[in-house]
Structure 1
Amino acid sequence: MASPRTSPSPKPAGTCPVPPDPGRTALPDRQEGATVYDEVGTAGVPPEDRVRHWERAVRSRLAPVEVTPRAGNTDFEGTISGGDAGCVRLLSMRATPLGLSCTARPVPAGRDDGPALILQEQGTATVRQDGRAAVVPAGCMVLLDLARPFRLEQHTPFHLYAVRLPERALGPSATHVPRVTGRAFPGSEGVGALLRPFATEMAYGAATLAGHVRERLAGNLVDLVAALVDEQARLRGAKEPVTAREELVERIRAHIDTHLRDPRLSPARVAEAHGISLRRLHVLFEGEDTTVHRLVQQRRIEECARELRRRACASRSISAVGRGWGFRNAAHFSRAFRSVYGCSPSEWRAAV
C-alpha cells in the first residue's frame, strides 16, 4: 500500500519546526467509505493557549495524558492527525520537545484503553513504565499500556506514529503486555522488521483505502502487534526451564499448541505422545493451576476468539470456526466460549 513519493511542500508559517517527512505532504484524496481523518495543530492558536489546545487533542484521540513542554521552550508547536481503521486508531504526531505523562486513575466501566504502539520516526525519546526505562531512538518502537502510569519524554523536535488498539483485540497475547512495556524494540529485526513499515504505511495511507480493505489490513496489523508482544515477552521475560519437570511441561504445552486443531487431542493422547502415563501427566500439571483438559479447551477458545475478530474471516460461520479448532459440537463450543469470555461467539464477533 505504499504511496507515491512527492516533493515536500513549503512549510507554512507557524507550523511545527520538525523536519518534514520526505514525500509525505498533503493527504491524498480519500476513497468513498474511507475512515474519518482529521488534523489538529497549533497554527493560528495564541502562544499562551497552544499547549492546552494540543493537550486536549491528544487526550481525545490517544489517552488522558498531561503535556509538559520542555523547560525553556516558550514557542510550543505541534500537530496530531489520524483516524480509525476497524478497531485500530492510527495517529501521526509532530511537536517540539515535550513530555507526555499519565498518572494512576480509575478506568471507567466498559472502557478498554488498551495498549498503544509508538513508532519513533524522528527525534529521540525516553520512556518509563512499570519500573523500567529505555531510550527510544528514531527507528525503534515502544509499547505503552494506556491504562497504567507512564511517561514519554521527547528530547528533540519529533515525529511519531501511534497505533492504539483495544486490549481484547490482542487475545491471549494481552497477558504479556505488562512484561514488555518500558522497553525499546528495534524496527529492523524479528517481527519489528515486518511490523514497522506496515504500521507506518497504514498510519499514513489508511484514509485512502476502501472500508473493507482498511478493516482487513487493520486485522493484519493487530496480528503483527500481538506477534511482537509474544516475541518480546519470550525474549525478555520468559523463564527458562530449570528442572526436568519444567522442561517436560514446556514440551507438553508446545505439543498441545501444535495439535489444537485435531479434534482427537485429549489428555490420553498427550500422555501417549510423551511416553508417560495419564496419571503422571495429571501429576505434572498439579502445579500449573490448570488441568490438561482445561488447558486444551482454553487454548482452543483463545484461538477461536482471535479468528472471530478478524474481518478477513467474517465470511466463515461461527460453527466452522469452532470446528476448525477442534470443537465437534456447536452447542459445546458456544457454552465453552461463554465460560471464558462471558458472551457468545456471535456477540464477541459483533462487538469487535
Structure 2
Amino acid sequence: MWSEESTDAIPAPERAEWYQDVVARAIAPTRTALTDPCSFRASTTVLDLGLLQVSTFTYGALRSWRTPTLIRRGDPELFSLALMSRNSMWISQRRNDASLSAGDAVLFDSSRPFEAGTGPLPDPASRGTAAPLPGTVGSVMVHLPREALRLPPGDVDRLLARRLCARSGLGAILGQFVQSLERHALECAPQERERVGRALLDLTTAFVAQQLNACQELPAETRRRVLLERINVFIDQRLADPGLTPELIAARHHISLRSLYALFQQSQGESVAASIRRRRLERCRAELARTGPGAPHIQTVAQHAGFTSAAVFSRAFRSVYGVSPREFRKEATAGRPVHGSSRDRTF
C-alpha cells in the first residue's frame, strides 16, 4: 500500500530533520539544508513492491549531500532512478553533473557520495554555498537493489548522474507505467503487486540497458515482457484508430504476426483482437459513467474508441455488460449502481 507523509503538521524548525528522516527511509541517509524552513513544504508517498520500492517526492528549495561518513554508517546498496515531473534540480556523483527538468531521468547510487539541489546546476566555484532557487520540485523514483540490475556494474557506473531522456520511447513507457501505479496500485492484491514489481524491474532494466546500447544482453524473458509492455502502450494510445489491427501492431514492432499471436496467448490469455475489443469497451464504459455538463455523447464515445458504427458498438457493449450504452448512461445519470462486470471476459 502507499504510505503518505507531509510537512503539514511539522513545525518549521523541525522540517529539515523530518525531511532527512523521510529520505533516509525511502532512499538512504543524507544531510539536508533548507533555504527557508518557514516556507518549506514537502510530501512523499512510498509503495512497496517486494523487490522494488516506488516513491514520489514534492519538495521546496533545498540542498542535500550523501557523504562518505554517512555511507560508512550504513548503505542499503540501492540504485535509484528518478523521473522528473515538475520544475528543475541537479545532482552530482562520480564526477558527473546532471541538470534536470520535467521529462528527464537520472540514475544515482546510494553507495557513492552525491550532492543534489533544486534549481539549475550551480557554478562549481559556488557549489555548497550558493542558495538553491525556490520552486516546488516533483519526481517519482524507482529504488532497486544493485544486484537486481543485471547489467555490467562498470557500464552502469558510466550512467550515474547523467541526464537521461524519458520523454519518448521506452523512457515514456516507463514513466506512464510508474504514474499508473499512483492511480491503480491500491486495487491490487499483495501477490499482484509482486507481479507489478517484476514488470517494473524489467522496464527499468531495459531502460538502463537502452542507454548503454546493451539491450541484447538482457535475458530473453525480460526482452519478451518489455516488448509486451511496449505493445500494450501502443494499443492503448491508438484505440481510437479503426485501422488498429494485429497486422499493423506486428509491423510497427518488427515481429511476425505469428509471434504476436503467441506473445498474447502466452502472456495475456487472450487474442490480440480480443484485447483491443476489451480495452475499447472498458474505455467506453468509463466515459459513459461520466455524468453532468461536458459528458460526451454516446456516439462520440464510440468514435473515440475506434468503433465505426453505432450499431456495432451497441451490440458489443450489450454482449459484455448486459445493457445497451444508452441504458448504462441512464443508470449512471440516475445515480444507480451501474453494471460493472462482463458476461464474457474472454470475448
Q: TM-score, normalised on structure 2?
A: 0.54
Query: In the alignment, which of 103, 109, 114 is matched to residue 139 of structure 1?
Result: 103
* Pairing 1:112-151 to 2, within 5 Å after superposition: 112-151=76-115
C-alpha deviation, 1:226, in angstroms? 1.2
Selected match of 1:84 from 19, 23, 48 = 48
Give the letter for the 1:122 counterpart.
Answer: R
After superposition, the C-alpha distances for 1:239-280 in whole angstroms (9 at most, x for unaligned) are xxxxxxxxxxxxxxx8xx79999xxxxxxxxxxxxxxxxxxx
Secondary structure class of the residue paired with 1:201: helix
Within a 5 Å distance, the mapping from 1:33-44 to structure 2 comes to 35=1, 37-44=2-9
- More contact order relative to length (CA 8 Å, sep ≥ 6): 1
SS in 2 for 1:67: strand
- Confirm or deny that 1:61 pairs with 2:26: yes
Question: For residues 175 and 45 of structure 1, do their structure 2 counterparts lie closer, same or farther at Cα, with a shift above 3 Å needed?
Answer: same
Question: Within the alignment, does 1:184 sit opposite 2:148 as a pair?
Answer: no
Q: Which residue matches 1:170?
A: 149
With over 3 angstroms needed to count, the CA separation of the structure-2 counterparts of 1:210 and 1:101, relative to structure 1, is same
Among all aligned residue pairs of Structure 1 and Structure 2, give the percentage whose two residues are the same amino acid: 24
Give the drift of 1:49.
0.9
| Aligned equivalents of 1:214, 1:159: Cα separation in 2 | 24
Equivalence for 2:338 = none
Q: Distance in 2 between matches of 1:43 and 1:135?
A: 29
How far 1:58 moved relative to its partner? 1.5
Q: What residue identity is the alignment partner of 2:181?
A: M
Q: Is the 8 A contact 2:75 2:111 kept in 1?
A: no
Structure 2: distance between partners of 1:139 and 1:190: 12
Size of the aligned set, in residue pairs, is 207
Structure 2 counterpart of 1:48, one-letter code:
P
For residues 20-74 of structure 1, the C-alpha deviation after alignment (integer angstroms, 9 at most, x for no partner) is xxxxxxxxxxxxxxx3x3222111221111111121121122111122213x564
Offset at residue 88 of structure 1 (A) = 0.7
Distance 1:111 1:258 in 2: 27
Aligned to 1:214: 193
Shift of 1:175: 4.3
Shift in Å, 1:185? 1.1
1:204–1:118: structure 2 CA closer, same or farther, 3 Å change rule?
farther
Deviation at 1:128, TM superposition (A): 0.8
Match of 1:229 in 2: 208
Kindly provide the amino acid, as one letter, of the partner of residue 169 in structure 1.
A
Contact 2:71 2:113 in 1 (8 A): no
- Counterpart residue type for residue 171 of structure 1: R
2:117 matched residue in structure 1: 153
Aligned Cα RMSD in Å?
A: 3.0
What do the CA deviations read for 1:178-219 (whole angstroms, capped 9, x no partner)? Answer: 110111111123421221111222255423311222111211
Matches within 5 A, 1:1-352: 35=1, 37-70=2-35, 72=36, 74-105=38-69, 112-155=76-119, 156-203=135-182, 205-234=184-213
Distance 2:73 2:59 in 1: 32
Contact 2:34 2:40 in 1 (8 A): yes
